[in-house]
Structure formats: structure tokens, C-alpha cells
Structure 1
């Protein structure tokens, strides 16, 4: 009898798009949600869907608020343990992006049980459990289905003081923008799927996507931290634009300062660009002003879908040094000042 470990397909061959590149494009999502009727929003719901924020926040009492989010996607890598770790890390990141501390998670599992071996599926779940152990939280339950494509993710719950909630809509003119992780995960995943990503590149990609954004709660307690989000499927361009729109000011990015994973520029120049990058630009490019110095390759990196990407923080000048120290203390040596918030009408400027 054939060994299923040698006959079953590569995980990425089962997915039409991997990681956060699976997200429905922003413009399409806006159309789907338009006209959706919601119940009246209770006063206790501090953060809902109004500014496309990272998680919902519900106030329990004067000093506690519950943070709830969910995220799941198809494989971005072929190693099942790595896939589980990446998917779980990505889901938990939304809790950190609100400034909260995670407390537990529920698994969301859809697997082609007649295509993948039990061993492979178990490794995906173990990878997710590894990420949750790193975050110090239990997986308290979940739901499973038999699916055509492999799908894995979490419902992640957190707790925080409502006084420290960090929305993606609080940036103020004069704020400094800090990005916690380098860009390029989508480009690397495109290269991986075509067999063009070497061992060093793969190791770099896994290190980035499995690093929990634990700096979030400490950053949220800084008095000058006005807005925070994590950069995921809509790319730096999309998530920065959401911050600009929600805040009612313009964000100006210094493209030369934006950190990239090693080798990403060369991979993008060689054509390893995801389809999601183009869909992202088609959805929101009309509200992005690019200087003449920005090339087509730069634009592809700007819109590159990040899976388990870094935190983007808008913070007052006087707290920048403290914020950089917090990032460093949590292992984010690549955190970089990439621009500023200025007076404006909710647009993104890249120069």
C-alpha cells in the first residue's frame, strides 16, 4: 500500500490562494457589505465594523473589555507544522493590534479528509497549538468540517482595559508612523509556490510569520500611541489607507525607509508577485498618491499581501523612543520609522 506521506499532494497545491492573499479584495468586500442591515449598536460595543478595524471590542465593566476576532486561510507553505503556526500567529495578532492580551482561542478547521493524511492534519493542529502556547493561551474548543481546500485558523479572544483600546482610526497630524516587521511575505510565498525560494529565504519567511506581535499591549499603554493596526492581506498600502481614512488625515510614507525582507526586491523584479497585489491596487489605488520615483515594483511591494505582518503604529513624537525600545524588547529589531501623519482628507501619499 502506498504511504500517504509520499502520495498526498503538496498543501499549497490544494489552495487557490495562500495565507492572507486569500482575502476578498477591499473593493469587492465593501460592495458585499454595502446595505447590510445591523441591529442598533450597544454602547458597550466600543469597536465594531465601522472603520474595518482588527477586532471587535466589548466593554464588560469600567476596567475590562473583551476583544474578539477570527482569521483563517488556506496554506501558504507546504510544511503542515509551519502552516498551523503561521495561521494561528496571524489570528492572534489582531488581539495584540488592539492593545489587548490574548486569553484563549477556538480552532477553525476545514480539511479534505480523503486527500490529506491524519498525520498531516494533526501536524497542522499541532502547529497552531505551538503558536498558542507561545502566546500563553489554551485552545478551548473549535469546529471542524470536511472541506475541498485545507483551511485553518482561530477565533482569538483577549482582555484589556478599555482606556487603552487602540483603534486603527486615531492617528493625528504630526504623529510618527512605525512599522514593526519588514514587508515581502506575499512575494516570498509566490516564489515558494514556483520553487524559486531558497532555504535561507524560507527560514526568513517562517521567522517573520511566526513571530507574535507581543509588543502591542505595551505600545498601547504609551500616552502618545494614537492608532495601531497590523499589516495583513491588503498590504501596507491598504492598511495604512484604512488608518488614514478612519483618522481623517493623510499618511505620508517615506518609501526608502520601509523595511523589506532580504531578497524581496530581487524576487519582485523577477516577477514573483501575487495576484492579490494587483487586486489590492485596483480596489484602493485611486486614494493613493505615488511620487514619480515609485516604480511598478515598488507599487507591487506596497500592495503585497502580508500574512502575519507587523504592527503599524501612529504615535506622538515624544513617545517614539519609548515605542522603539518596546519593539526591541520584544524582539523586533527591524521596527522602523516609515513616515508621518499630516493634515489631509484621508489619503495615502508614498514618496
Structure 2
């Protein structure tokens, strides 16, 4: 088989972050009755549902450590490597930090797919690491039933700039840095229905690093931050609201969506993970009059791979945040998509 005739997505049952275990099931897996060892230097660990672990280095800075990997979301091996690498590095940016080094995680069905295809995946990973300014310094590989690729990444952050997902405050405004819909587009691709122009836009978003997270970390008025991945915008917003002891009001009509996504939704092209996500947290959400509930059901739980950052901002820091976004050419994301309020009956209220 040549690289051109191989469709990597046909060798995986899931696609990108859409293969993540549903939130409800994950809670059962990680739940433990064993006492957790207390380590005062562990600033962020298993006690919260954050993007990475954070360890105090004792000199005013902290080590951020994370790992992320998944099965192919695109057929091109080089692009698959780039996407998986960008997605893994995003966890460091989501904590307000800068990545410093990565190692690779590779699972490969050696009896089904040639080794040179795996080499192309690794090359894609190296390309994104180079773009992030870090070395891909090693890794580990296994013979697996499905192709898997990702990274373990370490980063650094000044402790004063550390951002967590459970530190939002009442009255904060909510922003995101990428449009929704890559789960829908990747499902359309797997079904052979994705148009070329939508494929190009999807790959561009999937391979764009969330570097702005390190800059947002420098702004004290950015009170909480996370990245939007396999649980969808709704799932990660619920984590933020619940962890902060608040309710989030989501302005549905203000949420940016990738071009073409609504056309595929009209054809009922929706990832299976969307339903799993929604079933895990639907009892925590209320929809208000004027919202297109059927569309929102498909978009808000849509699993994002290397999705944008979701962050909360104190109103007095609005000008600084908007100025930063504009300086990075991100004018499409200067409008808030929601706000945080006193905790109510539901964790998220979706309004028009």
C-alpha cells in the first residue's frame, strides 16, 4: 500500500479527541477511596479536573506536565502527527505556561500499516514541536491494534501567572479563541462527505497552536482558563462552573462556528461522542426561550480536537484582553460568549 491509498481514519474506531472516554464514565474510573498523598509542592493534581499537573519548583516557577494521545482524525499521516502534537502541547498553554520539551507516544499496527507511514506521523509531530520552539526528545512505541499518536509535554510557568479551570469569579465574562465544529467536520470526512474547502479549514484549525495561552497567563484579570477538547464546549464549561462554584450563562448566538458545519448538521452528521457527552451532563444544563435547541444539542457537546481556549475575564481586564486578541489577529473572538453568575439550579444556562 502507498501512503496515498491508505485512509488512516479507517483503522480507528474513534477520531481525535472524539475517542475520549465520556465524562460520566471517566468519573467512575478515576474515583478512588484511597487516601491521596499530600504533597505541598503539587499545586494542581488529581483533586481537580484540570488540563495538566503542576509542581512547584521552589524558585517562583512551576513545572507543568501533561500527556495526550489519540487515534487518527485525518487520513494524511503528516497532518495526523501535527494535529496530535498541537493538541498535546495545548494543555501547557491552557495553564498559562510555555512548553519546553516533549516525548512521543506511538502505537502502531505493524502488521496492517507500513513503518514509513508511522515515520511520517512522527515527522508531523516534530514539525509542530519545532513551531512551538521545543525538541521532540524521545518517546516510546508499542505494537497496537489501532494507530495512536501523541506527546507527553513539560512546560514552565511563573506561579503568579498559573491559570486553572476552577478559579473563575462571579461577574466574569467568558471568551473562546477558536470556532466550534471540528468534530462534525471530521465525521463528515470519515463518511466521505467533507468538501475540500472545509477540509482545509479544519486542518488549519487542528494544527494551530494555542500559543496565546502563555500571553493570557500574563494578565491577572484572566481568572480561569482551560482548552476545549473531547468533552465539547459544554463539558469543559461545566467543569469550570462547577469547580468555581458558579453558574455559567452561555450566549448561544455569539458562539463562533466553522463554515459549513451547520450544513452537515442538517444532514445529521454528528459524532457518536456528541451523544455520549450530552448523556453525561444534560441534567446540568437549561435552555432558555429563543435557542435552537436541536442545533445546540449537536454543537455544544461536539468533541473538539485541539480546540480553542475557554477563559474567564474580570470586567476590568476586558480592554487588555481585547487588545491582546486584536494584536494576534483574533478579532473574531473579541466578543464574550457568556458570563458567570451566582450558582443556580443548573450549572449552565443557554440563552439566545
Quick check: TM above 0.5? yes
Tell me, yes or no, if structure 1 residue 87 matches structure 2 residue 84.
Answer: yes
Partner in structure 2 of residue 233 of structure 1 = 230
Q: How many residues were matched structurally?
A: 348
- Report Cα offsets for 1:253-311 as digits up to 9, x if no partner: 10000000011111112111001000001001111111242321221100000000000
- Report Cα offsets for 1:54-96 as digits up to 9, x if no partner: 0000001131100000000000000111110000000000000
Q: Per the alignment, do residues 43 and 150 of structure 1 end up closer, same or farther by CA in structure 2, a change over 3 Å counting?
A: same
> Residues 170 and 340 of structure 2 are in contact (CA less than 8 Å); yes or no, is this contact kept in structure 1?
yes
Give the secondary-structure state (helix, strand or coil) at the position aligned to 2:138. strand
**Residue pairs, 1:305-324, within 5 angstroms:** 305-324=303-322
**Residue pairs, 1:29-44, within 5 angstroms:** 29-35=26-32, 37=34, 39-44=36-41
Partner in structure 1 of residue 131 of structure 2 = 134
Give the secondary-structure state (helix, strand or coil) at the position aligned to 1:124. helix
**Aligned-pair CA distance for 1:41:** 2.6
Answer with 294-303 or 64-73: which moved more: 294-303
State the alpha-carbon separation in 1 of the partners of residues 61 and 4 from structure 2: 50
Give the alignment partner of residue 258 of structure 1, picking from 250, 255, 259: 255
Partner in structure 2 of residue 298 of structure 1 = 296
Answer with 36-45 or 180-189: which moved more: 36-45
Give the secondary-structure state (helix, strand or coil) at the position aligned to 2:192. coil
Q: Per the alignment, do residues 64 and 183 of structure 1 end up closer, same or farther by CA in structure 2, a change over 3 Å counting?
A: same
Q: Per the alignment, do residues 268 and 41 of structure 1 end up closer, same or farther by CA in structure 2, a change over 3 Å counting?
A: farther
**Aligned-pair CA distance for 1:110:** 0.3
**Aligned-pair CA distance for 1:140:** 1.2
Give the secondary-structure state (helix, strand or coil) at the position aligned to 1:342. strand
> Residues 174 and 312 of structure 2 are in contact (CA less than 8 Å); yes or no, is this contact kept in structure 1?
yes
> Residues 287 and 293 of structure 2 are in contact (CA less than 8 Å); yes or no, is this contact kept in structure 1?
no
Partner in structure 2 of residue 47 of structure 1 = 44
Partner in structure 2 of residue 339 of structure 1 = 338
**Aligned-pair CA distance for 1:36:** 5.2
> Residues 170 and 226 of structure 1 are in contact (CA less than 8 Å); yes or no, is this contact kept in structure 2?
yes
- Report Cα offsets for 1:17-41 as digits up to 9, x if no partner: 1100000000000011122535413
**Residue pairs, 1:15-30, within 5 angstroms:** 15-30=12-27
State the alpha-carbon separation in 2 of the partners of residues 93 and 325 from structure 1: 22
State the alpha-carbon separation in 1 of the partners of residues 326 and 120 from structure 2: 31
Q: Pairwise CA RMSD of aligned residues?
A: 1.3
Partner in structure 2 of residue 350 of structure 1 = 350
State the alpha-carbon separation in 2 of the partners of residues 331 and 80 from structure 1: 29
Give the secondary-structure state (helix, strand or coil) at the position aligned to 2:56. strand
> Residues 182 and 334 of structure 1 are in contact (CA less than 8 Å); yes or no, is this contact kept in structure 2?
no
Q: TM-score, normalised by structure 2?
A: 0.96
State the alpha-carbon separation in 1 of the partners of residues 328 and 117 from structure 2: 32
Unaligned runs of 5+ in 1: none
Q: Per the alignment, do residues 156 and 116 of structure 1 end up closer, same or farther by CA in structure 2, a change over 3 Å counting?
A: same
Q: Per the alignment, do residues 118 and 38 of structure 1 end up closer, same or farther by CA in structure 2, a change over 3 Å counting?
A: farther
Answer with 256-265 or 312-321: which moved more: 312-321
> Residues 161 and 220 of structure 2 are in contact (CA less than 8 Å); yes or no, is this contact kept in structure 1?
no
Partner in structure 1 of residue 325 of structure 2 = 327
Q: TM-score, normalised by structure 1?
A: 0.96
